[in-house]
């Protein structure tokens, strides 16, 4: 009969040191890493919450990562799911804890910065058995209407970035890793079969959990401000532009034929927007 051995308890400092050593050795700390890119007010957190909710995993979500920097210290916030403690300080010291899913979100970032081959993200987050990348795009009419509603200044750089993301979505550029999963928010929001296909593409069990939750990250929707918590699918997220049809600055954005063409290739004609494009 085998007799169990009572191993001595490792002191906290020694345990921290051992985890730091493990983090720089070959091998995986994370079962899976997802790098998620989107422009603010594109539904980033709605889709991220949905991805996390498809299965119950020990998950770390790093919001608003600044690419080409240590993500533990250059972000908008860190959240852990399904842990019985909060391991942020361990991760920040380099004593990385094991994760079934590490999801790094990048908002308003050039794709060539996020996927810069000269930057080794693994140096800070540890190795991952599987790496995936996701690019999210919402139509420009409703994306920029949400910016206007939030009172954020909309620069030419942001409009250019939307077009950069659209060209990548359409395969007209190659700034993301091969196999990147492209998500059109409009279709994700309205079509269950589209979400099913995305779950398959991401190798996730499809439960559709999390669809009706409005995340607190970013203050929730710029229109509903979380008052529809639990009823996110009831929000008129594809009609935001209607509140700005007479706003001269908003109208001016859509004097750009390139922007209109890219939008229609991805989302098709959006009823009501013809007033902005004629």
CA-to-CA distance for 16 and 241, rounded, in angstroms?
A: 51
Domain regions of the chain by residue span: 26-208+228-277
Which is nearest to 69 in space by CA: 108, 104, 30?
Answer: 104
CA-to-CA distance for 19 and 15, rounded, in angstroms?
A: 6
pLDDT above 50 for 114: yes
- Predicted pLDDT at 214: 57
- Predicted pLDDT at 22: 57
**Given the DSSP bridges, would you call strands 181-184 and 101-107 parallel, antiparallel or unpaired?**
unpaired
Residue 213 tokens read as 């939750």
CA-to-CA distance for 183 and 135, rounded, in angstroms?
A: 6
CA-to-CA distance for 248 and 167, rounded, in angstroms?
A: 27
* Mean pLDDT over the full length of the chain: 88
pLDDT above 60 for 167: yes
- 74-72-202 Cα angle (round to 5): 100
CATH class of 26-208+228-277: alpha beta
CA-to-CA distance for 147 and 38, rounded, in angstroms?
A: 14
In this structure, of 12-21, 82-91, 137-146, the range with the lowest mean pLDDT score is: 12-21
Residue predicted with more confidence, 94 or 220: 94
- Predicted pLDDT at 247: 95
pLDDT band at residue 162, thresholds of 50, 70 and 90?
very high
Residue 115 neighbours by CB distance under 10 Å: 19
- Predicted pLDDT at 233: 45
- Predicted pLDDT at 87: 95
Q: How far is CA 198 from CA 60, 203, 272, in A?
A: 21, 8, 28
| Per-residue model confidence as pLDDT tens digits over 198-238 | 999 999 999 999 987 655 544 444 444 444 344 444 458 99
Q: Note whether 170 and 258 are within 8 A (CB).
A: no
> What is the pLDDT averaged over residues 266-276?
94
> What is the pLDDT averaged over residues 17-32?
69
Specify the pTM.
Answer: 0.85
CA-to-CA distance for 103 and 80, rounded, in angstroms?
A: 10
3-state SS, residue 131: strand
- Predicted pLDDT at 27: 78
């Amino acid at each position: 009969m085998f007799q169990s051995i009572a191993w001595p308890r490792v002191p906290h400092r020694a345990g921290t040191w051992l985890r730091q050593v493990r983090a720089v050795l070959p091998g995986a700390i994370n079962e899976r890493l997802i790098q998620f890119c989107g422009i603010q007010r594109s539904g980033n957190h709605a889709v991220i919450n949905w991805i996390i909710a498809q299965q119950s995993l020990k998950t770390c979500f790093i919001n608003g990562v600044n690419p080409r920097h240590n993500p533990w210290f250059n972000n908008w916030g860190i959240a852990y799911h399904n842990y019985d403690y909060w391991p942020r300080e361990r991760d920040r010291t380099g004593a990385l804890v094991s994760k079934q899913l590490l999801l790094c979100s990048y908002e308003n970032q050039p794709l060539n910065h996020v996927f810069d081959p000269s930057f080794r993200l693994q140096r800070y987050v540890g190795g991952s058995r599987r790496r995936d990348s996701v690019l999210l795009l919402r139509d420009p009419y409703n994306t920029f209407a949400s910016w206007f509603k939030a009172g954020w200044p909309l620069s030419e750089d942001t409009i250019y970035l939307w077009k950069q993301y659209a060209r990548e979505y359409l395969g007209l550029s190659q700034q993301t890793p091969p196999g990147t999963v492209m998500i059109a928010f409009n279709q994700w929001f309205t079509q269950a079969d589209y979400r099913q296909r995305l779950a398959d593409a991401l190798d996730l069990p499809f439960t559709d959990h999390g669809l009706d939750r409005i995340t607190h990250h970013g203050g929730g929707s710029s229109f509903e401000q979380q008052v529809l918590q639990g009823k996110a699918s009831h929000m008129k997220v594809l009609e935001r532009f209607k509140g700005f049809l007479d706003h001269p600055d908003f109208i001016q954005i859509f004097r750009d034929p390139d922007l209109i063409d890219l939008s229609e290739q991805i989302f098709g004609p959006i009823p009501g927007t013809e007033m902005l494009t004629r």
